[in-house]
């Protein structure tokens, strides 16, 4: 037992000292001792929040949102080109890595906090329960990100047999992990959400601390999880539960704050800086995405800056100001899609949710045209419009790659230097390979 405690001290020491807190988190590292008090566990959990990488943003390079060409800096081309052209087998050594290890570091801390519930000192019962509830949420969210990066999409596999990623549900650093099925991972996520709901007692954090999970974040994550599962009725139910508490949308005709800013009225969880400065510097807007924004769409000039006809830059990212993991705009889109997919009987509910969002994103004249068009659409047309609006609204917020995976998995083609690169429909590269270094450390992950 003493040896195990020494190993635990070493692990916690590494976690606390190797990764400095972002100033946005406004909290000091734990230090060199095993956490004992609620304050120390809060600091440890803040470090774990800080581990969650911007891999949703990195995955955006694989989608059809971005354009890369020879005008980019050599550093950026070396870092991201192989991801952009889906070259996973022979990628350059300079290619930016997806951060498998950081996800599991976050999971270690979440598990350790959950296991320590009855040992946390110098905190009120509510404070301790909030810490544990946040840890269940962090564990659920990290597993959700991992399974959607490295596992087959739930809607395009047999979840009961398709192998995905290892679940990590304890702080044992000696256990050899094996891959769980997609279904097992999703079941664990949903179970953790149930537990989190029992513990969480903070409805809203003050700005600067809203990277922490709240009671509202539970149904926000449920809304997305069930959407990805194709469980439309439950996704709609969770979406409506969120909107019953916060249905505030940024009015883009008057607001100077973008919907995905951490201080936006829409922001539900400001955890990830999805598009960090390096990603934004390398991210030109693809022509196909640019053309989706029609006349009167206020987002066209607020989300992007057109420098030249072929050089359109991203505004909605590149700093801590744009930390956003969940927001109200997404929830309206989840509700619209989920309602429509439940069947013809809910088509009016789908229209209502879609139009509520659109009204805040277009000029008055453009919205009137859109409203008439949406109300005249049949089921198939409306589904495509929901998909298109989702692409416009959530551009460069880390959703597009996952939306492509879970829906049609279409054929994508990109051109660089006169050479075409193709991701075929239903291509196996819609699922990212587990990193080679992880397999070298644990060969069982290859199976």
pLDDT tens, residue by residue, 138-180: 999 999 999 999 999 999 999 999 999 999 999 998 888 999 9
Backbone angles phi, psi at 259, to 5 degrees: -60, -30
Helices and strands (H, E) in the chain, number of each type: 18, 8
Question: What percentage of the chain carries pLDDT values higher than 70?
Answer: 93
Backbone angles phi, psi at 76, to 5 degrees: -70, -40
Give the torsion sign (CA, 10, 126, 196, 275). Answer: negative
What span, in angstroms and rounded, lies between the C-alpha atoms of 279 and 320? 13
Question: For 66, which DSSP code?
Answer: E
pLDDT of 275 strictly over 80: yes
Mean pLDDT in residue range 100-128: 97
Q: What is the pLDDT of residue 24?
A: 35
What span, in angstroms and rounded, lies between the C-alpha atoms of 398 and 79? 18
Mean pLDDT in residue range 279-297: 96
Q: How far from 258 is each of 220, 255, 264, 291, 389, CA to CA, in Å? A: 19, 7, 7, 21, 16
pLDDT tens, residue by residue, 368-415: 999 999 999 999 999 999 999 999 999 999 999 999 999 999 999 999
Q: What is the pLDDT of residue 291?
A: 96
Q: What is the pLDDT of residue 5?
A: 40
Total Cβ atoms within 10 A of residue 134 = 25
Q: What is the pLDDT of residue 33?
A: 64
Residue 405, CB-side half-sphere exposure with 13 Å CA sphere:
27
Could you please report the per-residue DSSP string of 117-169? GGG-BSS-HHHHHHHHHHHHHHHHHHHHHHHHHHS--GGGS-TTT-B------
pLDDT band at 276 (very low <50, low <70, confident <90, very high): very high
Q: What is the dihedral of CA 29, 30, 31, 36, to 10 degrees?
A: 170
What span, in angstroms and rounded, lies between the C-alpha atoms of 247 and 309? 37
pLDDT of 108 strictly over 60: yes
DSSP E strand boundaries for 211-283: 267-269
| Average pLDDT of the residues of the chain | 92
Q: How far from 80 is each of 146, 398, 422, CA to CA, in Å? A: 20, 16, 16
pLDDT tens, residue by residue, 47-69: 999 999 999 999 999 999 999 99
What span, in angstroms and rounded, lies between the C-alpha atoms of 153 and 401? 11
Q: Is 343 left (phi over 0), alpha (psi -120 to 50) or beta?
A: left
195 Cβ contact partners less than 8 Å away, ≥ 6 residues apart:
133, 136
Q: In the chain, what are the domain boundaries?
A: 54-98+202-445
Q: Which of 139, 99, 209 is nearest to 437 (CA)?
A: 99
Residue pair 126/201 in contact (Cβ under 8 Å)? The answer is: yes
pLDDT of 278 strictly over 60: yes
Q: What is the dihedral of CA 412, 385, 395, 410, to 10 degrees?
A: -20
275 Cβ contact partners less than 8 Å away, ≥ 6 residues apart:
54, 57, 60, 283, 314, 316, 317, 318, 322, 396, 397, 398
Residue 153: is it exposed, middle or buried by C-beta count within 10 angstroms (0-12/13-18/19+)? Answer: buried
pLDDT of 127 strictly over 50: yes
The strand pairing partners of 327, in sequence order, are 267
Residue pair 142/114 in contact (Cβ under 8 Å)? The answer is: no
Paired tokens of 7: 């190993």
The strand pairing partners of 311, in sequence order, are 308
pLDDT tens, residue by residue, 13-36: 444 333 333 333 333 344 446 899
Measure CA 145 to chain center.
7
Paired tokens of 389: 């609006």
Total Cβ atoms within 10 A of residue 366 = 16
Q: What is the pLDDT of residue 447?
A: 82
CATH of 54-98+202-445, one of 3.20.20.70, 1.25.40.390, 3.90.550.10, 1.10.10.10: 1.25.40.390
Mean pLDDT in residue range 256-268: 98
């Amino acid at each position: 037992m003493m040896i195990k405690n020494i190993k635990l001290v070493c692990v916690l020491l590494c976690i606390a000292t190797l990764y400095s807190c972002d100033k946005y988190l406004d909290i000091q590292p734990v230090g060199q001792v095993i956490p004992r008090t609620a304050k120390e566990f809060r600091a440890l959990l803040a470090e774990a929040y800080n581990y969650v990488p911007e891999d949703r943003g990195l995955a955006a390079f694989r989608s059809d949102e971005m354009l890369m060409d020879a005008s980019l800096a050599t550093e950026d081309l070396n870092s991201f080109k192989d991801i952009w052209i889906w070259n996973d087998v022979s990628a350059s050594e300079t290619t930016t890595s997806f951060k498998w290890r950081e996800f599991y570091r976050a999971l270690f801390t979440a598990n350790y906090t959950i296991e320590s519930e009855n040992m946390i000192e110098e905190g009120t019962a509510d404070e301790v329960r909030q810490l544990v509830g946040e840890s269940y949420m962090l564990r659920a969210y990290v597993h959700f990100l991992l399974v959607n990066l490295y596992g087959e999409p739930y809607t395009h596999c047999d979840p009961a047999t398709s192998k995905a990623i290892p679940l990590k549900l304890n702080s044992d650093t000696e256990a050899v992990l094996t891959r769980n099925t997609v279904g097992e991972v999703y079941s664990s996520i949903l179970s953790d959400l149930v537990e989190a709901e029992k513990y969480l007692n903070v409805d809203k954090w003050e700005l600067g601390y809203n990277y922490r999970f709240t009671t509202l974040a539970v149904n926000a994550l449920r809304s997305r999880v069930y959407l990805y599962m194709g469980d439309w009725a439950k996704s709609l139910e969770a979406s409506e539960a969120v909107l019953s508490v916060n249905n505030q949308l940024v009015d883009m005709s008057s607001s100077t704050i973008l919907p995905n800013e951490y201080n936006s009225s829409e922001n539900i969880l400001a955890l990830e800086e999805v598009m960090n400065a390096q990603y934004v510097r390398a991210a030109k807007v693809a022509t196909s995405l640019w053309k989706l924004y029609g006349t009167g769409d206020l987002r066209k000039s607020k989300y992007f800056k057109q420098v030249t006809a072929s050089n359109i830059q991203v505004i909605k990212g590149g700093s801590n100001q744009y930390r956003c993991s969940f927001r109200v705009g997404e929830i309206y889109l989840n509700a619209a899609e989920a309602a429509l997919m439940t069947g013809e009987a809910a088509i009016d509910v789908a229209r209502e949710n879609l139009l509520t969002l659109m009204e805040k994103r277009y000029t008055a004249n453009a919205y009137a045209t859109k409203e008439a068009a949406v109300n005249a659409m049949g089921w198939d047309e409306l589904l495509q419009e929901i998909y298109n609006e989702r692409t416009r609204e959530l551009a460069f917020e880390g959703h597009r790659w996952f939306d492509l995976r879970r829906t049609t998995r279409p054929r994508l083609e990109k051109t660089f230097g006169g050479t075409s690169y193709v991701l075929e429909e239903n291509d196996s590269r819609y699922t990212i390979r587990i990193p080679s270094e992880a397999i070298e450390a644990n060969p069982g992950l290859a199976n």
